[in-house]
Structure 1
Amino acid sequence: MPRPKELPGIGPPVESVGFLLIPGFSLISYAAAVEPLRAANQLAGKTLYRWWNAAPADKPALASNGAAVLPDFKFGAEVGSLDLLLVCAGGNPATFNDRRTFAWLKKLASRGVTIGGISGGPVILAKAGLLSGRRCTVHWEHLPALHEAYPEVQLTRSLFEFDGDRVTCSGGVAGLDMMAALITRDHGHELAAAVSDWFLHTHVREGARPQRMDLRFRLGVSDSKLLKALKAMEAHIEAPLDRERLAHLAGVSLRQLERSFHSELGRGVHEHYLAVRLGRSRQLLRETSLSILEVALATGFASASQFSRAFKRSFGSTPREARLRDRRIIDQDR
């Protein structure tokens, strides 16, 4: 059976999989990747896949919901015939700075192990220097920060990506889709379909499918012309378009565009655009070390002071105060 298009040059079939669980990882992302391996073994009636779990410092890995997974493989040990290592991370992976983890990942990569990341895991790979020039994806929440911090990484908004010996997945239930592609390649469509059916995952998606819900459903908007303006806003954060340009792209008059925004979203064009930009700024403040001025410029503000005033009016605190508060919360959760 021919290999799926999403799997060019990924190497020999996968038999042994390691999971490196970073504190605060998403439990659903981890389960969506490991459970298909168990199901494949059970449905095939034999051991097709083996796997183990490791965690930094060999401590129980706490997921973002507080559940703990006990590591059954010593962190940093020799891995033997490992085919694939998947790094699972969530929360705010940009704050993870364990040098031993980065060194271990680099060592495994140099020995030919395929290295992957799930949800926020690609951020860990980028920090370890393993994604430079590679095509990869990451959960949409981390995408702006990863793009700002590592412009050399070829980011996509796909569900999952395979680029040689690098594997990345956006997380959530997309792990089911990624593992279905791997199982198809290794053991055929029939087994992969049986695994997907086992988990009531009746519509397996290709890797190139988009991560996020279409704007019409996310915002509850059905007006096609209004949707054109909304998509243009999300595509132009750093250099915002003026209202006249948005109206032109939507194919309506400025007055009509304003009426549509008020009737469909309950606020005007400027107010909505500002909310979109400020939402992006919160992500960058939380997940990058960019200065306040750099965050301001990346989200279309002319100065740090202009940005700070708008941010405080919207959120009740300055950008600096919000960043410090978020960091305190992260430290308490560890």
Structure 2
Amino acid sequence: MSSDASASARLRPGRKPPRIEAPPTLTIGFVLVPDFPLMAYTAAVEPLRAANTLSGCRLYEWWHAAPGGGAVRASNGVTILTDVAVGAATRAADRVFVCAGGNPAAFDDPAVSAWLRDLARRGATIGGISGGPYILARAGLLEGRRCTLHWEHVPAFEEHFPDIDVVRSLFEIQGDRVTCSGGIAALDLMLSLIERDHGPGLAAGVSDWFLHNQIREGLSPQRMDLRQRFGVRDPRLLRVLAAMEANLEAPLPREALADLARVSVRQLERLFHDLLGQGLHRHYLNLRLDRAHQLGRESALSRSEIATATGFASADELSRAERRRRLQGSAPG
């Protein structure tokens, strides 16, 4: 039969069109830890809804769980009514994402850890969003894996889990483990997963739906670069700022920083006062005190350990520096 005859036969009146199988529905679980970040959760679940709407198919369905079940409160006070309590029953899931914020280091629930391990044994891909990777690490689910999490949680995470490779990227997909830094990076993560599941066309459509005109790759940086964060463009000062942030445990002396900038110490001090409104010492000290505050809030480190991790000789020296900053306020140094 010629191709024309074959086409005619296919289009003959009364002949049924070829049956197109609908793609299988993927089930996504969201484990919401109290004080979870609503923006990160919304950026993760809304792309799934949009993919269903744009495709006209039930590509994704999802359920919610929380420790104890019932309603779980986000960090901004909004509550989500969950479908199941953690550990109450094993729910079918292709992927499960733990969404946590606030102080994930303080959350230690053996029932959550056991349930996540059980879901992983049953073949689910396990992910963490924002502070969620902290919960995965505590459950032993990130051993030998590279991961990311929100930059605010990184210092405490690295102190608590020194053997886990942490990168400061938007998201990481490593086989059956997925980690995401949170915020709107969860949207980029879901767009990447939608593309893997159903192709780039649908991912682009969902991105366009949310007025997201550039899909960022996982390895994109979490934070603005130093130019944007500090509003400075002088390359000498930028080199010094980068070196300061990379050396908080063992602060570099002023002379070494001046060598990096290829200026004298006096000229470097002038750059800090003119472009940042405070002296070199004050800026460096504030960076170290900010890191100490993060570690104190999000880790179980002792005051002495926090002092060592932020370049102070002792816990007493750290406490004195904190008191001086409270008394001096934001006055330039």
- Compute the TM-score of the two structures, normalised by the length of structure 2: 0.89
Distance in 2, Cα, partners of 1:80 & 1:121:
19
Distance in 2, Cα, partners of 1:110 & 1:91:
28
2:71 to 44, 54, 60: 60
1:100 to 111, 118, 127: 111
1:285 to 280, 287, 296: 296
2:229 to 218, 225, 239: 218
Match of 1:162 in 2: 173
Aligned partner of 2:26: which letter?
E
Contact 2:70 2:85 (C-alpha < 8 Å) held by counterparts: no
Contact 1:180 1:195 (C-alpha < 8 Å) held by counterparts: yes
Distance in 2, Cα, partners of 1:228 & 1:248:
10
With over 3 angstroms needed to count, the CA separation of the structure-2 counterparts of 1:299 and 1:106, relative to structure 1, is same
Aligned partner of 1:299: which letter?
T
Mapping of 1:139-218 within 5 angstroms? 139-218=150-229
Deviations 1:259-294 (A, max 9, x none): 000011111111100000000000000000100000
Distance in 1, Cα, partners of 2:223 & 2:111:
34
Contact 2:98 2:128 (C-alpha < 8 Å) held by counterparts: yes
- Cα offset, 1:258, TM superposition: 0.6
Mapping of 1:221-240 within 5 angstroms? 221-240=232-251
Aligned partner of 1:163: which letter?
Q
Aligned partner of 2:78: which letter?
A
1:116 to 123, 127, 131: 127
The SS at the match of 1:35 is helix
Match of 1:295 in 2: 306
Distance in 1, Cα, partners of 2:222 & 2:85:
34
1:82 to 93, 111, 122: 93
Distance in 2, Cα, partners of 1:36 & 1:55:
21
Deviations 1:94-143 (A, max 9, x none): 11122111111121122221111000101111111211221000000000
- Cα offset, 1:80, TM superposition: 4.9
Mapping of 1:241-320 within 5 angstroms? 241-315=252-326
Aligned partner of 1:38: which letter?
R
Distance in 2, Cα, partners of 1:125 & 1:106:
9
Aligned partner of 2:300: which letter?
S
Distance in 1, Cα, partners of 2:262 & 2:221:
26
Contact 2:303 2:315 (C-alpha < 8 Å) held by counterparts: yes
Q: Which has the higher contact order (CA 8 A, sep 6+)?
A: 1
Higher Rg = 2
Match of 1:36 in 2: 47
The SS at the match of 2:152 is coil
Higher deviation after alignment, 100-109 or 74-83:
74-83
- Cα offset, 1:74, TM superposition: 4.0
Contact 1:247 1:254 (C-alpha < 8 Å) held by counterparts: yes
With over 3 angstroms needed to count, the CA separation of the structure-2 counterparts of 1:122 and 1:243, relative to structure 1, is same
Higher deviation after alignment, 212-221 or 22-31:
212-221
The SS at the match of 2:222 is coil
- Compute the TM-score of the two structures, normalised by the length of structure 1: 0.89
Distance in 2, Cα, partners of 1:112 & 1:130:
13
Higher deviation after alignment, 60-69 or 218-227:
218-227
Contact 2:70 2:84 (C-alpha < 8 Å) held by counterparts: no
Distance in 2, Cα, partners of 1:14 & 1:209:
30
Distance in 1, Cα, partners of 2:123 & 2:51:
25
Distance in 1, Cα, partners of 2:325 & 2:193:
45
Q: Which sections of structure 2, spanning at least 5 residues, go unmatched?
A: 1-23, 328-333
Aligned partner of 2:151: which letter?
W
Deviations 1:191-226 (A, max 9, x none): 000000000111110000000011111111121110
- Cα offset, 1:14, TM superposition: 8.0
Distance in 1, Cα, partners of 2:84 & 2:199:
30
Percent of aligned pairs sharing the same letter: 61
Distance in 2, Cα, partners of 1:198 & 1:173:
15
Contact 1:234 1:276 (C-alpha < 8 Å) held by counterparts: yes
Residues 1:17 and 2:28 are matched in the alignment: yes
Count residues in correspondence: 305
